[in-house]
C-alpha cells in the first residue's frame, strides 16, 4: 500500500515537472516568433574612406567570433551578418590600421548604442571609415552623419 502511494506521488511530481518544462518551451517559442528580437539578423558594412589612396586593414572580433584580418582598397567595402543576442550584450570590436603606422580601435557594433531597442538603432549598420573616425549611415538624412571620435564619443 505504502509503495503504491509513493509511486503515485512520484508520478505526480514527474507530471508537474513535465508541465513546467512544457511551459518554459512555450515561452521560448513565443520569444522566437517575435521578429525583432531573436529572428533578426543585422549587417555591418565597413567602407574604406581614408581618402588618400590608403589601404585599410581591419580585424574584427566578438567574444565568440574572430572574423579575421581584412584588407580594403580605397572605397571598397566588407560586411558581415550576425544575430544580436537576446540579452542585448552583442559587441564587435575592430582594430584598424593604415599607412604610416596608424592604429586604432572601435566598437563597430555595440548593442547598447546600435541595438533595435536601444540608442540609435540599426539593422543595416553601414560605416564609412575616415581618418577622423567612423561615421554611420543615417536613414533619416540619407547620409553618413552619425559620427564618432575614435574613442567612441559621439561627435554631435
Ligand atoms: C518589428 O517588426 C515589425 C514587423 O516585422 C516591424 O513592423 C517593426 O518596425 C519592427 N520594429 C523594430 C523596432 O524594428
Ligand atoms: C573614392 O571615392 C571618392 C568619392 O566618391 C572619389 O573622389 C575617389 O576618387 C575614390 N577613390 C578611388 C581610389 O576610387
8 Å CB contact between 18 and 26: no
8 Å CB contact between 110 and 116: no
Is the Cβ atom of 74 under 6 angstroms away from ligand 2?
yes
Domain layout of the chain by residue ranges:
1-33, 42-147
Q: Are strands 124-130 and 42-48 parallel, antiparallel or unpaired?
A: parallel
Is the Cβ atom of 133 under 6 angstroms away from ligand 2?
no
Q: Distance (Å, rounded) from C-alpha 97 to C-alpha 91?
A: 20
Closest ligand 1 atom to Cα of 116: 13
Instruction: Give the model's pLDDT for residue 8.
Output: 75
Binning the chain into helix, strand and coil, the percentages to the nearest 5 are 25, 40, 35
Share of the chain above pLDDT 90, in %: 64
Q: Distance (Å, rounded) from C-alpha 142 to C-alpha 156?
A: 17
Report the 10 Å Cβ neighbour count for 12: 10
DSSP state for residue 115 in the 8-state scheme: S
Stretch 8-20: mean pLDDT, rounded? 66
Could you tell me the three cell numbers for 113?
548604442
Which of 86, 111, 84, 90 has its CA nearest to residue 27?
Answer: 86
Residue carrying C-alpha cell 586593414: 57
pLDDT per position as a tens digit, 93-151: 999 999 999 999 999 999 999 987 777 889 999 999 999 999 999 999 999 999 999 99
CA of 131 to the centre of ligand 1 (A): 35
The CATH architecture annotation of domain 42-147 reads Sandwich (2.60)
Per the prediction, the chain carries an average pLDDT of 85
Name the residue with the closest Cα to ligand 1, atom 6: 36
pLDDT per position as a tens digit, 28-64: 444 444 555 556 789 999 999 999 999 999 999 999 9
Amino acid at each position: 500500500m505504502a509503495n503504491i502511494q509513493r509511486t503515485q506521488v512520484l508520478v505526480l511530481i514527474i507530471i508537474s515537472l513535465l508541465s513546467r518544462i512544457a511551459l518554459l518551451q512555450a515561452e521560448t517559442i513565443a520569444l522566437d516568433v517575435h521578429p525583432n528580437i531573436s529572428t533578426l539578423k543585422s549587417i555591418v558594412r565597413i567602407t574604406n574612406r581614408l581618402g588618400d589612396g590608403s589601404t585599410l586593414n581591419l580585424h574584427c572580433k566578438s567574444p565568440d567570433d574572430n572574423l579575421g584580418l581584412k584588407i580594403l582598397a580605397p572605397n571598397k567595402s566588407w560586411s558581415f551578418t550576425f544575430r544580436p543576442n537576446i540579452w542585448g550584450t552583442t559587441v564587435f570590436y575592430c582594430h584598424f590600421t593604415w599607412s604610416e603606422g596608424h592604429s586604432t580601435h572601435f566598437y563597430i557594433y555595440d548593442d547598447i548604442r546600435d541595438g533595435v531597442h536601444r540608442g540609435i538603432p540599426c539593422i543595416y549598420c553601414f560605416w564609412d571609415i575616415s581618418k577622423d573616425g567612423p561615421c554611420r549611415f543615417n536613414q533619416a538624412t540619407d547620409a553618413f552623419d552619425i559620427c564618432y571620435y575614435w574613442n567612441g564619443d559621439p561627435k554631435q
